[in-house]
Structure 1
Amino acid sequence: MQIGDGPRAEILAMQGAGFRKHIMVDNFISRYGSYDKCGLVRRDVYNHCCRENMKLIAKGDAETTVGIMRSGKTNDPDFFFEYVLDKEGRLKSMFWCDAQSRRDYQHYGDVVEFDNTYKMNRYGMPFIPFVGVNNHRCTIVFGCAIVSDETEGTYVWLLQTFMRANCQQKPKSIITDGEPAMIRAIRSVFSDVLHHICACHIEKNMQRHLYYKSLDEFRSLLYYATSQDNFEQRWSAFVDK
C-alpha cells in the first residue's frame, strides 16, 4: 500500500522521536478510527521505516564502522563481530562483543536480557544490548548489536550470531519485551529456553488495561513466588473476578 505524504512525514517524525512501530500504528488508528480510514496497515509502517533507514546509512559510515571492528579484532584476538550488508552494499545489521564480554557470558550467562528500545543514534536504528548480572549483582554486557529493521529474520540472525560468538552455549532463561517478531525468533532459535516478558513492560500494559483497584492484586500474582498449582488457582480466580 502506498503511504501518503502526510502520514509519511508523521511516521518519520515519530521514528525520529523513538516511537516503536506498533505505537505508531496505534496512534493512527486511534485518530482515524480504523485501518481503512487511516490508509495504512502495520506492515506499511515497518516497510517504510526500513526503507528510510537504508537511505540514511551512508557507505562511508558503514566502512568506518567495519574498520573500527577490524581494528578491535587486531588488538584483541578474541574480539568477535559479524555484520550483514544489503544488496547495495550498505550496512544492515551488526553484532559485536569483546573478550571480557565473552568470558562473562561463560560464567554468568544463565539469564540474558535484551531490549531493542534504544535508538539514540543519528539513524534512529535500534541498538540492542545483551546484558546479564554477575555475582555482585552488577549489570554486565554480553554483546551489542545495531539493526536496520525489527523483523523476525533479523532477530533470528542476531540470536544465531550471539550463539556463534559464545560457542553455542545457550542461556537457561531469556528476558525480552513483548515484540511479536522477537518472540517468534526466540521460539525458533531458543525453543528449549525459558522465555520471560520483562516485568516493567507487563506493568505498563497492566496500568493501561486494568481497573486501578485490581492493580495490587495483579502485582501479587506477578512478583510473589508460589507453587504452580497455587498460581493457577489464584490466576483463574482473578480472571473470573
Structure 2
Amino acid sequence: MNKWVVKEFMADHNHPLVEQKNIQFLRSHRVIKNADKAQLNAMRGVGMGTSQIMDYMVQQSGGYNNVGFTKKDLYNHVDADRRVHLRDGDAKGALAYLCGKSEMDPSFYYKYNVDEDNRLANLFWADSTSKLDYNCFGDVLAFDTTYRTNAYKKPLMKVLALIFESWRFVLDAMNNKKPLSVITDGDKAMREAIKRIFPDSCHRLCAWHIQHNAFTNVHVKDFTNHFSKCMFMEGTVEEFECAWNDMLEMFNLHGHKWVTNIYAKRSRWAEAYLRGHFFAGMKSTQRCESMNAYLNRFFKTRLKLFEFVKHFDRALSCIRHNEAKAEFETHHCSAVLTSKLYPLEKYIEHLEAISESCIMKRWSKLAKETVQVHHDNESQGDAPNIIRYGALSSMCSRMSYFASQSEKAFKEARCEIQRLTCQMEELCKNSVEKSEREDLKATKHHVRDPIIVKAKGNPGNLKDKFKKPRHCGKCKKVRHTVRKCPEFVNTHNAFINIEDSIKDMGDMPSLLNHNMEGGSRHETNEFSQNVSLTFFK
C-alpha cells in the first residue's frame, strides 16, 4: 500500500497551530448533532430562549469545550430551521396547522378570508372546549383589540381566540348564540359591528378607558372624581341628569367638546342607563388586560403567524390546566366555614338554604354538568418526533441517575447506549416517515401572507413620541441636516464664487501666491489679506 512520508517540515510557510483551548472555535470542530437539535426543538417548544438553551447544554456537557458548537451556531440553526418551516408561506403553515387540529378535534372550527391580492386578511378559530365554554358562560363578552403580538400587527381578540372584524363567523361557530352584553373600548368600527351582528346585545364602553380619556381631555382639578361619581352612581336616569348638570355648573364646562361628545354616549357608560342588564360584575375590559399580561409569558413580539397559533395553543393549554386544578380543589377540598358578612348572617340566620331562584347556574359548581367536554390531547399538533423524543428522555432519566452513581454502572451503561445508538441510527436511515415539515407542505390552502398593517386603537411606541428631534450639526436647528443647512449652502456658494474670481485672475501672477504642499493648492489674494482659502483636488 502506498504511503506518504513527511521528509522535511519547513515552518516558514505555515501559520502556527491553534492552541488546545481554541480548538472549539474551529469550523471543523463545530457541529450540532441531531440529538442536540431534537433537544433544542423540545426546549424551544416550551418557550425557552436560545441563550438559555445554550447555557443548559453547556452545563449538561461539562463546559464550553465539550458542547461542540458556539452560541452563534445555535442561533444560525434556529433561524435556518425557522425559514424551512416558512418556506411555503407563513399563512399556509398556520392554516395547515389549524387544519390538522380540525382533523383531531371533530368540533374544531376555523375560517378565514382573503383580500383582493389573495392575502390572508382575517382569521378565526375556536376548538370544542372554547365553544362549550361560550355555551355556558357566553352571556357577557369583553373585547380588547389593542393587543398585538404578531409580525403583521394584527390585533388579537382574546376570549374567543379571535382575529376578525366581521363577526359573522362567531355566530356560525357558536350555533347563533348571541351574548346578552358586550364590553369594548371606544372603537367606532367595533360599535358598528356590534350593532349589526349583535343588535339585541347591550353594548357597554370600558369604564377605565373613559376615565382615562376624561383625565386626558379635561384639565380641570377634581373633574375626574366628580365624573366618576356620575358614571357609577346607581340612581335613576333623572338623578344622573341632575348630577351631570350640577357638575357642568360647578366646573363651567358647558360647550366643552369632549364633555359634549361623551354625554351623547351616556347610554353606553352611565350606570343609571345600564341598570337591569347583566354584565357579570364587569365594568371594564380589565380581564382582557390581565389576559394580556398572562399571554406575554408565552409570546414574543412580532411572532410569525405559524409560530403564534402554536404558542397560543400552549398558553391555552396552561390556562385550562389551571382551571382543571381549581375545579378539582372545588369538589375535593374541605370548605372553610367562615364569613365576614356578619350583618348578612343576622338577617338570614333563619334560612337553611338559599332559594334556587336567587342563584345563577353559571356561578355554581354545576355550570358544566349538562355539557360533554372534549378532553383533547394537549400535545396535539406537535411534531411526533418531538413527542417521542420527550417520552424517551423521560424514560432514560431514571436509568441515567443510577448509572451515574458508580464507575462500573457508568461504563456498562455507556457501552450499552453506544450499541443502541448505532442500532437506532441504522434503523433511522432505513425508515421512511412523514415529518412535520412534509405535513405542512401538503396543505390545500393557497393563501399569501398578510401585509403589515397599523392596528386601530394601539398607540405607537411611547419612545417615538418623546424622542428628541434631530438637530443640524452646524446651526443646531431642527428639520434639516448639515448637508441641507441654509447657512452651509450660502457659505459654500460664496466659496465657489471666490474660487471663480481667483481663476479669472490667472493672468495676474503677481497677485497670487501659489503654495502646493500635500496635494493642496493654497491661494491667497493679496488684495484682501484676511481671505485665505484651501481647495483640495
TM norm. shorter chain > 0.5: yes
Shift of 1:239: 3.0
1:110 and 2:139 correspond: yes
Q: What residue ranges of structure 2 are gaps of 5+ in the alignment?
A: 1-86, 251-537
Counterpart pick for 1:76 among 96, 102, 105: 105
Shift of 1:202: 0.6
Counterpart pick for 1:91 among 100, 103, 120: 120
1:186 and 2:171 correspond: no
Distance 1:81 1:92 in 2: 14
Q: Which residue of 1 aligns with 2:212?
A: 204
1:173 and 2:202 correspond: no
Change (3 A) 1:103 1:145: same
1:128 and 2:145 correspond: no
1:234 and 2:243 correspond: yes
User: Equivalences for 1:24-43 in 2 at 5 Å?
Assistant: none
Shift of 1:169: 0.8
Percent identity, aligned pairs only, is 32
1:146 and 2:163 correspond: yes
**Which secondary structure state, in structure 1, belongs to the residue aligned with residue 151 of structure 2?**
coil
Shift of 1:85: 1.4
Distance 2:104 2:123 in 1: 19
**Which secondary structure state, in structure 1, belongs to the residue aligned with residue 123 of structure 2?**
strand
Q: Which residue of 2 aligns with 1:161?
A: 169
Shift of 1:232: 2.5
Shift of 1:238: 2.1
- Whether the 8 Å contact between 2:148 and 2:156 is mirrored in structure 1 is yes
- Whether the 8 Å contact between 1:128 and 1:146 is mirrored in structure 2 is yes
Moved more, 89-98 or 215-224: 215-224
Distance 2:184 2:120 in 1: 25
* Larger RCO (CA within 8 A; separation ≥ 6): 2
**Which secondary structure state, in structure 1, belongs to the residue aligned with residue 196 of structure 2?**
helix
Shift of 1:103: 0.9
Shift of 1:63: 0.4
**Which secondary structure state, in structure 2, belongs to the residue aligned with residue 167 of structure 1?**
coil
TM-score by length of 1: 0.63
**Which secondary structure state, in structure 2, belongs to the residue aligned with residue 127 of structure 1?**
coil
Distance 2:124 2:145 in 1: 13
**Which secondary structure state, in structure 2, belongs to the residue aligned with residue 191 of structure 1?**
coil
- Whether the 8 Å contact between 2:144 and 2:157 is mirrored in structure 1 is yes
- Whether the 8 Å contact between 2:111 and 2:124 is mirrored in structure 1 is yes
Shift of 1:115: 1.4
Q: Which residue of 1 aligns with 2:334?
A: none
Shift of 1:59: 6.7
- Whether the 8 Å contact between 1:59 and 1:89 is mirrored in structure 2 is no
Distance 2:171 2:229 in 1: 35
Change (3 A) 1:90 1:206: same
Q: Which residue of 1 aligns with 2:80?
A: none
Distance 1:144 1:186 in 2: 17
Shift of 1:233: 2.1
* Amino acid across the alignment from 1:188: R
- Whether the 8 Å contact between 2:184 and 2:205 is mirrored in structure 1 is yes
